[in-house]
Amino acid sequence: MVTFKRLLLGRPLKSTELGEQKLNKKKALAILSSDALSSVAYGPEQILLVLITVGTAAFWYSLPIAAGVLILLLALILSYRQIIFAYPQGGGAYVVSKTNLGTYAGLVSGGSLLVDYILTVAVSVSAGTDAITSAFPALHEHTVAISIAFVVFITILNLRGVTESASILAYPVYLFVLALFIMIGVGLYNAVTGGVHGTVHVPLSTPMAGISLFLLLRAFASGSSALTGVEAISNAIPNFKAPAPNNASKTLIAMGILLAILFAGIVLLAYSYGIVPKAEETVVSQIAEMTFGRSFMYYFIQGTTALILILAANTGYSAFPLLAVNLAKDKFIPRMFTVRGDRLGYSNGIISLGILSILLIVAFKGQTEQLIPLYAVGVFIPFTLAQTGMMLKWLREKPEGWLPKLVINTIGAVICLVVTLMFFVTKFAQVWPVLVFLPCIVLLFHRIKKHYVAVGDQLRLTTCEPNVPIEGNVIVLPVSGITHVVEHSVDYAKSLKPDQIIAVYIPFERDEEAAFEKKWNQWRPDVRLVTLHSPYRSIIHPLSKFIDTVQRKANEAHYQVTVIIPQFIPKKGWHHLLHNQTSLMIRAYLLYRKDVIVTTVPYHLKK
Amino acid sequence: MVTFKRLLLGRPLKSTELGEQKLNKKKALAILSSDALSSVAYGPEQILLVLITVGTAAFWYSLPIAAGVLILLLALILSYRQIIFAYPQGGGAYVVSKTNLGTYAGLVSGGSLLVDYILTVAVSVSAGTDAITSAFPALHEHTVAISIAFVVFITILNLRGVTESASILAYPVYLFVLALFIMIGVGLYNAVTGGVHGTVHVPLSTPMAGISLFLLLRAFASGSSALTGVEAISNAIPNFKAPAPNNASKTLIAMGILLAILFAGIVLLAYSYGIVPKAEETVVSQIAEMTFGRSFMYYFIQGTTALILILAANTGYSAFPLLAVNLAKDKFIPRMFTVRGDRLGYSNGIISLGILSILLIVAFKGQTEQLIPLYAVGVFIPFTLAQTGMMLKWLREKPEGWLPKLVINTIGAVICLVVTLMFFVTKFAQVWPVLVFLPCIVLLFHRIKKHYVAVGDQLRLTTCEPNVPIEGNVIVLPVSGITHVVEHSVDYAKSLKPDQIIAVYIPFERDEEAAFEKKWNQWRPDVRLVTLHSPYRSIIHPLSKFIDTVQRKANEAHYQVTVIIPQFIPKKGWHHLLHNQTSLMIRAYLLYRKDVIVTTVPYHLKK
């Protein structure tokens, strides 16, 4: 078992080795931006899909809409850069909202991001699997199994530690960026030199009759879904090498530039080539085919796209555990999320994320596309709250040069709010669950916090009632016969020199009673025996009633009652089935129902 | 929970109420013969199905074959009557084979009957459900669910107690017998008065070319499958009112007579009416239709037939738990099968039978017909062994009038052996699993017995090594901080006045170490504190190593080591998730891996 765990995860790491587990900028960019970068594979298409409802003549609007998305991206990047420096301990939108807007806003941000990272993993792994099963239709019936295998693989990689997963996952990310750069470069050269003629080509600024502001905003909101994942870096600052905030900020800017170039390039090419979105072929695939034909480059672009869709899941694995640590430190989720595993990752967070996303994949049978709007709105709610929080921060603190900062965050907040509202207005049918689960999550967070606070109060020496002093001990010893095990328990009880030892025997038949008393008194006349006839053949009920009586008397004298229970430890696992587990049942019953101390005397069977 | 159990099973019964739970002959006949009687619904058909392979002209052979089956029935009834008086404590074939032929023969009998009762339940419930879904085709897709519901219903009825299930189940059994009696009476009258003319009518003793002895024996073996269930009464003697053996014997004879009349009547009618077996209609249904048309009586016969097929399962419920008690008393299966439940039934046997037969039904998706030959051979193996055992008994003991008894058992043994061999020769493809699972079961029985014997030796005061005297106590007290709970544990440890108390603190960081030691020494300078720095963030490993060291020293001085572990008991179930369960993990590890006593100090959270 231990060897298998070693093989899977590698040797355990000392706490002092934490520094070596930090990320440099190149690796951080790869694993934290895969989610954002992968969205250029579907973001531009989303815009065209809205515009086509009016007609292909409306496609020129994709250019100003893309410009709008780029402005939003710029606002987000600048704004998150400010967040990184203002909150260098990480936690992103959760910490910003909590600090500036109060606990509830923080919990809404934190809860919606937590759910969102689960959705990220499920959605991106399913999308990547779809890309693979489209290429190899024979695999189609195994979609769910393949998706689960990918989640398990990414989970194990992350349990091995953040640097190790970064080393492996960096290659596909950079290959994807390289592939798209080549495509955009060659494609734009072709477009300018007139080497390619698309099917549709609409001159710019053709006025359109059917187009409305509503439609344009809807297209804009859809395109903005390409910006999910931008917040990941601000959550994961503690994973960066020192100086963490500087490195995180530089990484964020690099990601922004890459994202802007790829997004703008694809929109521009789609427009120049006059590409019309098709159900059976993605926009990127069409562009790649028109640029290179079905050559090696085409397949290279398709392959790296499929890979990065799957790896986008990894961003969730980097951000979720760190967000969970922040929530757990504030006692809103179970404490176990703050514990580092053998390889210094927050393994409980990683494992929970893996399990929850597998459950989502299974529940939706691998068809998670309908979750995309939900996922986008789950990002833009914390975006809006974080920007608003930053606005308030600048207004409140007014540090040097606060006005441009305020302007940036205000623009960001307004755009994010508009996008969020657009999702609710235009896609309410897919987005409404957020209105159900967010209040539930916030309520759950509160109940957990309440419990931890109550426990703390009950444990703290200064706030709790003082302990009653223990002035003596009474030991109750249930016995099932006169055996070696009972002898050992009696010897042990005597060695503790309690004020009283009471052996208890519970016969089911009246006639066993006298016989056993006689045998006992011959064997251990110095230990008092009580027999409790049990006509209904229950052990627990008469024992429980007897202990109540003993305890009532003991309490008066401030005596402590201890019940000593022998337990067989069989040599082989299956032997457990051959024993009645009475001792386990008695122990559990007494601990949960009574206020007695339970001592287990193990008896290790040798054969 | 308790109320629900009451509602389902009724109030618990005292052990002294056992007498009232015994069966009179009328009820016993109903519940113990339902299996045997139900087989007349398919036994005669089985004979015709073999004969039809030669041609309808061979149907007259069904009469001498039926005579053969009746002779076998007579031999079995007389022989089991002798078993009842010779072994009035019940246990049937298992006890007879074990006593006279040795343990292995006993285990083969017991194991094959045990499996057989599970098959009985699965096969008969499935058959009954098939009868229902044939009548109401809309229910067809719910076959498995309906079968499971029936098993659950019969299981609950049996958990409520044997008399109660008998009272409910007696009506359908007697109604079935009544219905068939009327049918046979009216049918034979019609046949004699020439009121009915069948499609085929072959004169008796027409010599046949294609018929062989092999075929006749095969038809005979198939017809003999109607005799499964005859042994049930001999297993269930303890369920009878006193004088149990007399009452059981009378019930057995009554069952034999009923079975003989029904079997002979149906074979005779089928021959007189010239009935040819059809895939879509049973022989009994054809006879009923030719006798009464599609009148009320027809549906009455069909209805009671479906009911008795389901109730045949109940015979398994009466015999399985009692056979299990016998095996468990001999330590071949887990002890829990000897424990009486709240309503004085052997509830573990009843529940196990229910679960196992549900598993079979699910595994075969409700299509358990292919198990019938397996089931028949599983009955005839113990039949043969029991008869042989009785032969040896008479030869060995030679009581007064032993010769006729020997003759009866010898005839029985020879016929049963022939039937068993016929099953292997003619239906090997369906019957071979018995050659796999019987050795496995016998091996399992032996391993269980070996374990219990070894445990007994280790517990008995006379055979085990004497206990090492305990000359002092060392208490190890893992602490996680300075809290109310730790205070209580320290007070408790002190009240036991051990020779040494060692508090153990396990920090993950070096700098926590000194700080905690300082705080502890201010708080409880009289209790020795040991800190164990854990660079790999494990609690169990350093604690385990430390306890090893303590124990080595303690053993030298014959001191006993006790580890005191505080455990939170949260107020609500879901709160468990919020605590790390470290105390449970430590406790399990220490009990299973070390030879230390573990004391759990519960701390009941009030909020």
Which string of DSSP letters, residue by residue, matches B550-595? HHHHHHHTTEEEEEEEEEEE-SSGGGGGGS--HHHHHHHHHHHHS-
Q: Report pLDDT for B32.
A: 87
Instruction: Quick: pLDDT tens for A213-262.
Output: 888 888 888 888 778 888 888 888 888 888 889 999 999 999 999 999 99
Instruction: Quick: pLDDT tens for B16-34.
Output: 777 777 888 888 888 888 8
The pLDDT confidence band at residue A469, using thresholds 50, 70 and 90, is: confident
Q: Report pLDDT for B522.
A: 92
A469 CB near a chain B CB, below 8 Å? Answer: yes
Q: Report pLDDT for A401.
A: 86
Q: The CATH number of B64-452 is which of 3.50.50.60, 1.20.210.10, 1.20.1740.10, 3.40.50.720?
A: 1.20.1740.10
Asked which of A409-418, B110-119, B162-171, B592-601 is least confident by mean pLDDT, the reply is: B162-171
Instruction: Quick: pLDDT tens for B528-541.
Output: 999 999 888 888 89
Instruction: Quick: pLDDT tens for B218-232.
Output: 888 888 887 888 888
Phi, psi angle pair for B483, to nearest 5°: -130, 175
The pLDDT confidence band at residue A506, using thresholds 50, 70 and 90, is: very high
Instruction: Quick: pLDDT tens for B273-319.
Output: 888 888 777 888 888 888 888 888 888 998 898 888 888 888 888 88
Instruction: Quick: pLDDT tens for B85-102.
Output: 888 887 688 999 999 999
Query: Omega of the bond prior to B507 within 30 degrees of 0, cis?
Result: no
On the question of pLDDT at B503 being above 80, the answer is yes
Tokens of A322: 């760190």
On the question of pLDDT at A595 being above 70, the answer is yes
Q: Report pLDDT for B206.
A: 62
> Kindly report the CA angle at A477 between A474 and A478, in degrees rounded to 5?
145
Residues of chain B neighbouring A473 (CB-CB closer than 8 A): 495-496
Q: Average pLDDT, whole number, for chain A? A: 86
**CATH 3.40.50.620-classified regions of chain B:** 472-604
The pLDDT confidence band at residue A455, using thresholds 50, 70 and 90, is: confident
> With a CB-CB cutoff of 8 Å, which residues 376-395 of chain A face chain B?
none
The pLDDT confidence band at residue A525, using thresholds 50, 70 and 90, is: very high
| Residue carrying structure tokens 């605590």 | B579
The strand pairing partners of B563, in sequence order, are B476, B598
Q: Report pLDDT for A373.
A: 80
Residue percentage of chain B with pLDDT more than 90: 35
A573 CB near a chain B CB, below 8 Å? Answer: no
**CATH 1.20.1740.10-classified regions of chain A:** 64-452
Q: Report pLDDT for B295.
A: 86
On the question of pLDDT at B368 being above 80, the answer is no
More confident residue, A54 or B174: B174
The Cα A473–Cα A55 span in angstroms is 88
Residues of chain A neighbouring B459 (CB-CB closer than 8 A): 483-485
The pLDDT confidence band at residue A204, using thresholds 50, 70 and 90, is: low
Q: Report pLDDT for A206.
A: 62
Q: What is the pTM of this model?
A: 0.80
The pLDDT confidence band at residue B209, using thresholds 50, 70 and 90, is: low
Neighbour-count burial of A327, counting CB atoms closer than 10 A to its CB (0-12 exposed, 13-18 middle, 19+ buried) = buried
A396 CB near a chain B CB, below 8 Å? Answer: no
Q: Report pLDDT for A356.
A: 94
Residues of chain A neighbouring B600 (CB-CB closer than 8 A): 587, 591, 597-600
The Cα B497–Cα A109 span in angstroms is 54
The Cα A227–Cα A40 span in angstroms is 9
On the question of pLDDT at A45 being above 90, the answer is no
Q: Report pLDDT for B569.
A: 83
Q: Kindly list the strands in the beta sheet with A597-604, ordered across the sheet, starting from the edge strand earlier in the chain.
A: A528-531, A500-505, A472-479, A559-569, A597-604, B597-604, B559-569, B472-479, B500-505, B528-531
The strand pairing partners of B564, in sequence order, are B599
Cβ neighbours, 10 Å, residue A215: 18
A213 CB near a chain B CB, below 8 Å? Answer: no
CB spacing of B467 vs A488 below 8 angstroms: yes
Phi, psi angle pair for A600, to nearest 5°: -105, 125
CB spacing of A607 vs B575 below 8 angstroms: no
The pLDDT confidence band at residue B238, using thresholds 50, 70 and 90, is: confident
Q: Report pLDDT for B396.
A: 93
Cβ atoms of A319 and A119 closer than 8 Å: no
The Cα A446–Cα A449 span in angstroms is 5
Tokens of A294: 């079905």
Residue of B nearest to A607 (CA): B454
Q: Nearest Cβ partner of A492 from B509, B597, B606? A: B597
B20 CB near a chain A CB, below 8 Å? Answer: no
The Cα A345–Cα A155 span in angstroms is 11
Among B544, B578, B585, the strongest candidate for a mutation testing the A interface, having the largest count of A CBs within 10 A, is B578
Q: Report pLDDT for B151.
A: 94
Q: Report pLDDT for A531.
A: 93
Q: Report pLDDT for A498.
A: 93
Q: Nearest Cβ partner of B497 from A451, A497, A568? A: A497
Q: Average pLDDT, whole number, for chain B? A: 86
The Cα A166–Cα A31 span in angstroms is 6
CATH class of the domain at A472-604: alpha beta
Cβ atoms of B139 and B146 closer than 8 Å: yes
Q: Report pLDDT for A262.
A: 93
More confident residue, A434 or B12: A434
3-class DSSP string for B342-356: CCCCCHHHHHHHHHH
Mean pLDDT of A164-174: 83
Instruction: Quick: pLDDT tens for B380-413.
Output: 999 999 999 999 999 999 988 889 989 988 988 9
Residues of chain A neighbouring B580 (CB-CB closer than 8 A): 335-336, 339
CB spacing of B537 vs A460 below 8 angstroms: no
Q: Report pLDDT for A350.
A: 92
CB spacing of A14 vs B536 below 8 angstroms: yes
CB spacing of B600 vs A596 below 8 angstroms: no
Measure A13 CA to nearest chain B CA, in Å.
6
Does an H or E element contain A605, and which?
none
- For residue B345, give the nearest of B427, B422, B236, B257 by alpha carbon: B236
Measure A125 CA to nearest chain B CA, in Å.
29
On the question of pLDDT at B187 being above 60, the answer is yes
Residue percentage of chain A with pLDDT more than 90: 35
Among B536, B559, B567, the strongest candidate for a mutation testing the A interface, having the largest count of A CBs within 10 A, is B536
CB spacing of A535 vs B15 below 8 angstroms: yes
CB spacing of B473 vs A496 below 8 angstroms: yes
On the question of pLDDT at A91 being above 70, the answer is no
Task: Name residues whose C-beta falls within 8 Å of residue B326's C-beta, 6 or more positions apart in sequence.
Answer: B90, B91, B94, B95, B110
Q: Nearest Cβ partner of A602 from B15, B591, B607? A: B591
Residue percentage of chain B with pLDDT more than 70: 97
Measure B347 CA to nearest chain A CA, in Å.
13
Q: Report pLDDT for B519.
A: 93
> How many Å separate Cα A426 from the centre of its chain?
29
Instruction: Quick: pLDDT tens for B315-365.
Output: 888 889 889 999 999 999 988 888 888 777 888 999 999 999 999 999 888
Q: Using the Cα atoms of residue B435, residue B436, residue B437 and residue B443 in order, give the sign of their dihedral.
A: positive
- How many residues are there in chain B? 607
